[in-house]
Each structure stands twice: as C-alpha cells, then as structure tokens.
Structure 1
Amino acid sequence: MCASVLSRCGVALSQPQSESQSVSCQFCHLDVCVTRCIEHNHTLNQLAAAYVKLVLAIGHHDPLYVDAYYGPAEWRAEAQAQGLSLDTLAEHSADLLSRLEQARHGLPCQSLRDRHYFLFKQLASVAVYLKRSMGQRLSFDAESQALYDTRAPGHSLSDFSEVLAKLDNLLPGEGSLTKRFDAYRSQFIVPADRVSQVFTAAVEQARLLTKRHLALPEGEQFRVEFVKDQIWTAYNWYQGNYASLIQLNQDHPLHLERALDLASHEGYPGHHVFNLLQERELVKGLGWWEYAIYPLYSPISFLSEGSANYGLSLLMTKEERIDFEQRVLMPMAGIEGDLRHYHEVMEAYKALANLDTLVCRQLIDGEITREEAARLLVEFALYTPEKAAQRVRFYQANRSYAINYHHGEASVGEYVTRKARDSAQAWEVFAALLARPRVASEITR
C-alpha cells in the first residue's frame, strides 16, 4: 500500500508496509490497521459526497443556504437538474443520518471518529433546517441548539445598566445617550472617498501580521467590492483555490475602528483564512469533500463567526492597534481626535454586544414586534434608527444565527485561553481550530 493513498485517510506512513501491519495515525498517533482505516474512510467519503449533494440540492431552493462551494462542478449541475422537492430531500436526510449512525461503529482511529462526529452534527443540522423550511417553527433557543449545537446565555435589559452608566460618564454633551454616542463617533467617520484606501490598508496589515504566525498557501488572494442595500455590514464570499471576494456595504458610514475589525473578520485571520486552511488541509490534503461546502445555517458557522470575531485580539494588542490606527489610518482618512479616549468608549460599548442576542431572541419568540426591536436597539444598543432597522431585517432573515458572533467569540476565546500557555501556543491552538473545525459542543465547557 503506497504512502500517498494512506495519507488521504489520515495515516502517516514512512515506508511501504504490508496491509496487515499497524502504522501510526498522523492525528491521534495510535497504531491502527491499514486496511480497516482505509475501508472506514472510504465509507465516510461516500457519505460525505451524499451530504454535499444534499446541501447543494437545498441550495436550489434557498440560494443563501450554500455560502461557499468549491467541489466538483458536476455535483452542483446534478442537484440543479434533479430539482428534488423539500419532502424528498427530508427523506434523503433521514436516510443519510441513519447510514451515518451505522458508520459510527468500529471507527479505528480518533481522526476518523472526529471526522464522523463533525459530519453527523452538520447533517443533523441540515435535517432540522429542512423541517424549518417546510414550516416547522422552533423557539430561538431550540433552533440555535439544533442548527448551531449551542445556546447563548440569557440576559435581561437590567444586565446592561452598568455599562450604559459608564458610557454616560465617558461621553460629552447633553441629550439622550444614543444621540451623544452618535455625535461623538461622527468625528471618527472615514470620508466616503477614502474608505477604499483605508480598508485596503487595514486588510494588508492584518494579512502581514497573520503571515507571521500562519503559513498561508502560495497565491492566496482577495478582492474588495463596495456594495449597497444589504442587511449586513460586510461579507466574505469564499471562491475556492484560496481566493475570496470581500464585499463592504456602504449603506452606513465606516468608522475608523471598524476598518481593522472588518479586515480581520472577513479576511485575516478570519473567514478567508478559515476557509483556505480547510481547503488546503482537508479537501486537497485528505480528500474530505464535506469541507468543500459551507451550509450557512449549520454548526460550522459558530466557529466561523466566533473565530473571525476573536482573531483581531490575537493579531494586535490594544496598544499595537492604537499605534497603527494613529500612524497609518488616521492620516490616511484625514481624521483627528483623541484616539485613546475613543477606544475607551468603544471598549465599554462592546460590553453591550449581548444585547444583540437578547433583542433577536425576543423578536423571534414573538415577545416583541419589529418596531419594538428597533426601539430597543436605539435606546439600549445606541444604534441610529437607520442602523436599527437594518439589524432588525437581519434578525428576521437569519433568526438564531445571531448567537454565532458574540457567544462564538467568547467561546473561542475561552477555549484558546484554556488550551494555550502563552501567546505563541495561542496561535497554534487557534490555527488548529481553523484547519480542523470543531463544533460548539467540543469547544464550550
């Protein structure tokens, strides 16, 4: 049995050996039987292909469901040509779940057991999404558990009173806190004609810093496109072959600190790096096709959004970030102001992040109307009315997906801190999470 074949199932082989001889798995370092490993991996390959085709078929009904795909083109064409109904796809998902459960028994190494667990969680989420598409309604928490393998902590409005009081003390002027916050931030708006230059500089800096810690594929690239009339602020559309399209929505102004936030989230070490590492390590490296498709409303989004939010804290310390913004981005944008005080305000403001989940949960569970949701975002999250209306549209379109940002960031941060002794090891733990994703139940305590 040649080494190149064995490497595709996660087995490291230093020299040719007989099929009955045990070798060491490159992931779990246990002795496994070569024949058993290859047989079980082949079974999982077949189930993974069926899973990918199922997700593609759902994408025929809901184009937003398939966030990225870079597998065989004929699989997409086949899904489109068949045009299977949701009822038929639900039957296929139930059958596939049963077959995957049977495949769980006797897996010879931890690598394949991990692969199976991830695929099972993804497929179970697909089955729930199909039921939801056919009219089944779940509560916010039940839906988030079923789709993303976790529930966000509960909060009440009173939990944020201390943060709002702190912001009240930090912000100058008179009038409502929302208006004072908006007026204060306005001095740090990047002029529209300089947004492209500032955002590109932020992405390039994030890329430079990321490459100091991660070996990225030769030729990896991105391009930036500016759009309008979207319910999101920015989006990464991964194209495959280590390339991304990053879209920046210009419906609302870009504030200075958001340049690095979005550059790291959408690009480095966020979504762009998250996807390209999986493509290199799992799709091209091991031939595991389940990682060549990204169903948006599924467990992988918890790690995708959480790691993208967390990445900037690994890239830069607070002082390094202030230094870069002061030296490079502020002159580029033509902005003047007390940047250190601005970051103090924005650091306090970030503590309101869980309001996002609170308001979304109440809206989805029917406790408040969309108008009341927008009012709460203005009054407590300090959104402008226009931004609040956009966010409510996001809630209605994406429902419990909102948990993946702040709950995801906190969970990834706690996981990395728990596993790493120092900053160097933190990058190792983080990179391992990106290159071999784990679902929420494996990350959270």
Structure 2
Amino acid sequence: MTTESPEKLLSPVLSAFWDDPRSWTLETYRRHDGYQGLRKALAMDPDDVIAYVKDAGLRGRGGAGFPTGMKWQFIPQGDDKPHYLVVNADESEPGTCKDIPLLFANPHSLIEGMIIACHAIRSNHAFIYLRGEVVPVLRRLHEAVREAYAAGYLGKDALGPGKDLEITVHAGAGAYICGEETALLDSLEGRRGQPRLRPPFPAVAGLYACPTVVNNVESIASVPALMNKGKDWFRSMGSEKSPGFTLYSLSGHVARPGQYEAPLGITLRQLLEMSGGMRPGHRLKFWTPGGSSTPLLTDEHLDVPLDYEGVGAAGSMLGTKALQCFDETTCVVRAVTRWTEFYAHESCGKCTPCREGTYWLVQLMRDIEAGKGRMSDIDKIDDIADNINGKSFCALGDGAASPIFSSLKYFRDEYEQHITGRGCPFDPARSTVWADSGDGTDNAHPEVKA
C-alpha cells in the first residue's frame, strides 16, 4: 500500500474539468487542450494512427476489453465500400453509470475521438447511438455536434481536402438488448433490435452491410488525450497488459458514491478509502466489478487489481467497472432475483436458452426468496443457468447466468436458509427463520407472527 494520500492515486483526464462552469462547451474544451490530439492525428497516415493506438494498448472500456486499435485494424481497406463508426452510448447495464455523466459534462472528448477514429478507419459518416431516455444528454450532444460543425471540425473537408465527415446522433427507443453491438446495428437501421448471427462480423458487414467499427463511449473519448500526450504517457499508467486510465463507477452502500477516474489496476480497498468506506456501522458483504452481468465477488477480493487480468484471475470480469457494493444487511437471494427479473424482462426472445431459461430462473428464484422453494431447486437453478451460459445467441444469457453461478459459489448457505427457514432471514417481518415455539409466535421477535 502506498503511504501517499488515497487521492494521489487518481488520474483525472476525462473528468479533469467536469466541475468547470459550462464544461460541456467547445470554449471550455479548447481551454483544456481540446482538439490538439486531432491536429496531431490528422498529420499522420491513417494506418499510422491505428498502429499508434494499438501500441499504446488502449482496450475497449465497454465490457470485454478488446484492444481498440486491433478492432480498427479489422476494417478492410480498398474495398470501395463506405466505412462507418458507431459509438455505443446505450448504457443500460444495471449499476453502470459512466458514459452518461461523461457525455453530459464533456461531450467534445467523444466528438474529437470520433473524428480521429474516422480518420483512422477512413470513414466519412459516424453515428452515436444514445439511450433515448436521457434527454438532457441528447440535447447536449446535439449542441456539441452543432458547435463542431460551426468550428469546421465536422462537415465539408473536415478530414482534409475532399474528405467530408458527418456525425448523426440517434436516440434509441430503450432496450437493454440494443447494447449488444449487432442488435444496436439492427435498431439503427430501423429494425427490431435483435442480435445477428455471426459471421459475418460488423468489421466486414455491419451497418448497411458495410464495414463498421462499434466502440464504447469511453473507449473513443480516451483517444484524444492519448494522441495529444503520447503513448508513453498513456502506458505510464495502469499495468503492462491493461494500461491507461479509466472511470470506476462506485455505487451502493458506500459513504460517497460517484465516478473515480484512476489508472487500471487500482483496488476496491483503495477506492473505498477515497470514498469514505462503507456506510457507517456496516461492512462489505459482496460487490460486482463490472455491473450485474459480471460474477459477484466478496470482501476477500478487496485487494484484487481492478484490471482485466486481475479481475479475470479472481473469477469475474472487469466489464464496465460498475462497482456495486452491498453491505451485510443485503439479502443475496433477493439481489440476484431482482437482477434475474431484469434479464428475463430484457431478453429479446430470439433464442430458446435465454427466452425460456431466464423465465424459469425467475419462477424458481421468486419461490426460493419467498421460502416456498425446495432444496432440489438450488441445483435446478444451477443447471438452468448452465444451459443458458455460452449457449444463447448473445452475451445477455451469459450475463443472466453469472449472478446465479457466483452467488451459489459464495452464498449457497443463504439459499438454503431461505428454504429451511421458509423465508428471508434478512427480513424478520416476513421470516420464520427465528426459533418457532409452535404457537405461531416468533420467540426472537414476539411481535412478529409467523
């Protein structure tokens, strides 16, 4: 552990001036080196930009951590087809809340990154697919795009003589499945948002059957600082295989929830020190490293490095860095039931394992939570989750199975308590887990009737 103050571990780049008055304007962005990275990128050959981002080690910040430069490199060149860049701003993973604040406070970082990416992949049209419910962000994005057009960063000759660039902001209708890149492309084309069969992959046949790069908001917004300050500066942060800075979204039963921008590899223990720890009088019980679709971890994982390799070695995924922290008052069965209900509701229904599996998981989880389950139901939900995991059309099924597997691994006894105690031990008003005298009175809480 470092002897420095916890705040010294932070590395504000994307969030450096979120607290400035009118941080979202072009004027403020320019005062903080805005569009300097673009100037350097446009002076380079497109292939050199791709190689530079690849050498810097920037990995996708949307979940899987795939190398950004490598994804750009997959776009075929000389194919005489339009190339498209699509930014996935359909942030809807439970617990995830980094891209929307970023777009609200600093939209020009995304626009500059998009222009650099379009130069690199030789694209003349880019799209931002935004969750339609966040109307204030939609308005700020429209205004930022208007400012970029007025300043000449977009529009005619934006990428050089004869190289125009257009950006379209599209408001999605609101569906979790549209966060999956191929379902997003279908939705953007005006069809029902459902995952596509792959191959072909978007890099070959994406939007309008043309080569397409789909990147997360934070991935693209990180590019301008990388280009401006250099790949060595970028690699000076984080770990060897997971370099750079990122936004950690700390939420739940913590004293000071919020966005903490730090190098990859910081630990939850260090982040909790900065945020004042868990709420007074309580301790950490379990947490998610990357939203509800990543296997949950416990207090024994407080010192796991929060990078792709460290979290993977601990049996989970870094995902979106949505650190949801729950204290000892939280019922694991109840939390997993709510997540499972979410996945069942958001399943597009295209494939049988996810459509049927999530439905039956909800039925069994509700019974267990209410104390109506049987011991055999515990193995049954494990079996159903196994029949979904890796067998569904897209990763939604895997996300639904993750909380089931991990909660059974660490808290199987809690599931058993719900069954043997005929209710939730964390809610005395609904539970008969306390000593029962046989007369319908709870001995530990005489005022509570069984």
TM-score for the superposition, normalised by structure 2: 0.22
Q: Which has the higher contact order (CA 8 A, sep 6+)?
A: 1
